Amino acid sequence: MTFKTLDDADFSGKRALVRVDFNVPMHEGEVSDDTRLQAAAPTIQKLRQGGAKVVLLAHFDRPKGKVTPSMSLEPIVPALAKVIGAPVAFAADCVGEVATAAVDALRPGDVLLLENVRFHGGEEANDPAFAKALAANGDLYVNDAFSAAHRAHASTEGLAHLLPAYAGEQMRLELSALDKALGKPERPVLGIVGGSKVSTKLELLSHLVTKLDKLAIGGGMANTFLHAQGHDVGASYCEKDMAETARDIIRLAGQHNCKLFLPLDIVVAEKMAPGAPARVRTLGAVDEHERILDAGPETVERLCRAMDNSKTLIWNGPLGVFEMPPFDKGTVTAARHAASLVKAGKLVAVAGGGDTVAALNAAGCADDLTFVSTAGGAFLEWMEGKTLPGVAALSQ
């Protein structure tokens, strides 16, 4: 897919409507994690330096088309101003006279944040009239919110058909990294998929086994695969009704020559609690009161060897209950090994999904992978092979 970037645009003196993702964590009225603000900064600065009037569009939470003061974007203004090192104006609406007056007051290089687009029902409905009202305040459109690109909303898809449309810097980074991972990757390609439920990642697993050379399955969903193969999983979380589906995925992997890695050994405990006594078990040796809470050392060692013999890694989901030591060991060991291979220039490693990002941060190596996507739903849908409306709308 080809798309225009800011390198293709002359935006001096132009009003640039920029869709960003400012759905950030808040604590007591202040931004508690500015990662997404930092991610938007390169696009904002490039536009400012080029003399554009920067008009930011974003959503916060789910107000469902109603003005909800607790979901206003205004508290984000001080944190954003700090990140970009410049004043940020705010308008109490994203369309209409209030928005137009605020946009008209801008000079080249100024930045304005408009109020939550989801305060209007036309946003999520992708209503043409609402998209037109948004477009009235812009000369060009920049989408820098890959994390919202799986939604066909007015500010993520509709606007791209009304104004000259470009991918922002973060969007370009994201799409480039994803293309390296699954579009045109260096082979062999290894995937790691963890998490608790096969049922929520069925489309993902079914798609990946047709694209990858190797796929390692971890987390709670590995228990379902072990159960499907006849292994006793004790008191572990397990979707026993998905056993036949798990066997179908195993068969599909075989048909597409995708080598499937399931646990060889596991770490168990009688209760899921920090510091709970943990034991390593071989498959089938789990007591009825024990729960599988992490991948065992032999499993992790084999996974690290698989990384050594791969050129590309794509990772979604932890191998165990990483939030709770000692059940974080498998995920941390694997993550640090991947990071060491990336730093040595031997592996392209792309990771994404909420739990994945948290796990990599816990391992202290999120910054060492080739690319870590903060786009949860969009990253997953892309991995499932789906067309993302917000990306498709940018294509030439």
- By CB atoms closer than 10 A (0-12, 13-18, 19+), residue 113 is buried
Residues 311 and 231 in one domain: yes
pLDDT of residue 196: 86
Distance between CA atoms of residues 139 and 137, nearest Å: 7
| Three-class DSSP category at 262 | coil
In this prediction the pTM is: 0.87
Measured from the Cβ of residue 345, the count of other Cβ atoms closer than 10 Å reads 7
Residue 10 lies in a domain: yes
Helix axes 169-178, 35-49, angle to 10 degrees: 120
pLDDT of residue 65: 97
pLDDT of residue 178: 86
Residue 396 lies in a domain: no
Distance between CA atoms of residues 251 and 258, nearest Å: 10
In the chain, how many domains are there? 2
Q: Vertex 177, ends 173 and 41: CA angle to 5°? A: 20
Of 172, 200, 223, which residue sits at a domain end?
Answer: 172
Residue 394 lies in a domain: no
Residues 208 and 92 in one domain: no
- Expressed as residue numbers, the domain containing 107 is 6-172
Distance between CA atoms of residues 127 and 22, nearest Å: 22
pLDDT of residue 1: 62
Residues 233 and 373 in one domain: yes
Of 112, 141, 172, which residue sits at a domain end?
Answer: 172
Residues 48 and 88 in one domain: yes
The residues annotated as belonging to the active site are 36, 197, 354, 377
Residue 392 lies in a domain: no
Which stretches of the chain score pLDDT less than 70?
Answer: 1, 354, 396
